[in-house]
Amino acid sequence: MRSKRVILTPKFLLNPSPASYYEYLGDDVIEGQHGKFVDTKKPLWLNLGYWKVARTYPEAAAALATQLGMPPRSAPATLCSTSALVLPSKTSSGSSATAVKHITGVNITAMQVERSQARVKDRGLEGRVELHVGSAAKLEFGDASFDKVTALECAHHFDTREQFFREAFRVLRPGGRLATADGTRSAGEGKLTFINKLSLKRWFVPLANMYDRDEYCRKLEAIGFVNVRCESIRNYVFPGVVKYHALRNKGVTMQDAVIELSQDEIDRCVGIELWKLTGLTDYVIFSADKPL
């Protein structure tokens, strides 16, 4: 089935903030496909997805959140700084969701917070989920307030990511964990090109955040985190999302866009050439602990 394609031209080329870009995206990760939130059942994910097993975008987007640990297992108080919040189920008895007693979400895009608050209310979760408009680089919470901090595909936007690390370390309780799913540079890449810098400016990615996963780990350790771990999952991210974008841009609906990946396409990380335009050519899951 094909949908009537709506072309929306952004009123900006260089975004003044990530909030303006995500307001432009609206309810769809594909540029120009904002449905103005008419379909109240439409999944509001805005990440690239984890396509190892998933074959549709909603499955892949949820799988990426699961890789990150959202909602995190056995976390009494959790801070999520993300463009899409995984809400715990009211009925999933015995699941990891029921172990989450409270989630605090922080998002710089007011529109997304308003939409998320409506869904929290619809699910009767006001007592377990609270959402705030704010900056992850300047968290308005006390020291040692949370057991886990997660950032799902958003930390590369923070001004700066390193300042977010400091804030996460501050608000975590001793023994707490930071987990991020993040786009980074690949090791050994040369200097950023003019096209790279223009692309990053358009998506509001500060140049100070452009480093590889090894430097990412070093920065976490320098702040005081221990047990720093990283895993590149780019082969299960870029090939799937590139194929998904191609189908959607041909007019295929989100529901009907089914992605099939061969092992060869996964091994070669098909689609990586497009991401080289941005300079963000790796996709990594990071985790680190605050010492006891």
Quick one: which of 2, 7, 179, 149 has its CA closest to 79?
Answer: 149
Indicate whether 1 pLDDT > 50.
Answer: no
Torsions phi, psi of 200, nearest 5? Answer: -65, -35
* Mean pLDDT calculated for residue range 40-60: 93
Predicted pLDDT of residue 16: 66
Average pLDDT value over all residues in the chain: 86
What pLDDT is attached to residue 8? 43
Please give the full DSSP string across 98-135, using - where no structure is assigned: GG--EEEEEES-HHHHHHHHHHHHHTT-TTTEEEEE--
8 A C-beta contact, residue 284 and residue 233: yes
pLDDT at residue 100, as a whole number = 73
Cβ(285)–Cβ(181) below 8 Å: yes
Contact predicate 35/28, CB 8 Å: yes
pLDDT at 80 over 80: no
Taking 90 as the threshold, does the pLDDT of residue 213 lie above it? yes
Q: At what angle do helices 110-122 and 18-25 cross, to 10 degrees?
A: 50
Nearest CA to 29 out of 247, 200, 199 is that of 247
Instruction: Give the mean pLDDT of 237-264.
Output: 96
- Rounded Cα distance, 212 and 214, in Å: 6
Helix/strand/coil percent split, the chain, to 5:
35, 20, 45
> Are 24 and 274 contacting, i.e. CB atoms less than 8 angstroms apart?
no
- % of the chain residues with pLDDT over 70: 85
- Strand duo 172-184 + 282-289: pairing: antiparallel
The predicted-structure confidence for 186-200, as pLDDT tens digits, reads as follows: 999 889 999 999 999
Whether 115 contacts 45, CB under 8 Å: no
Burial of 6 (0-12, 13-18, 19+ CB in 10 A): exposed
- Give CA–CA dist 241/98, Å, rounded: 31
Mean pLDDT of 71-85: 50
Neighbours of 12 (CB within 10 A): 11
Q: What is the pLDDT of residue 69?
A: 80
pLDDT, tens digit (0-9, with 9 covering 90-100), for 27-46: 999 988 999 989 888 888 99
- Phi/psi of residue 286, nearest 5 degrees: -115, 150
Backbone φ and ψ for 128, nearest 5 degrees, come out as -115, -20
Tracing tokens 């692309």 back to the chain, one arrives at 199
- Overall average pLDDT of the 120-126 stretch: 88
Query: Residue 87: pLDDT above 70?
Result: no
In this prediction, residues 10-20 reach a mean pLDDT of 65
What pLDDT does 79 receive?
61
Encoding tokens for residue 127? 């007592």
Indicate if the pLDDT at residue 13 is higher than 60: no
Nearest to 180 by CA among 130, 228, 222, 244: 228
Q: Rounded mean pLDDT of 149-177?
A: 96
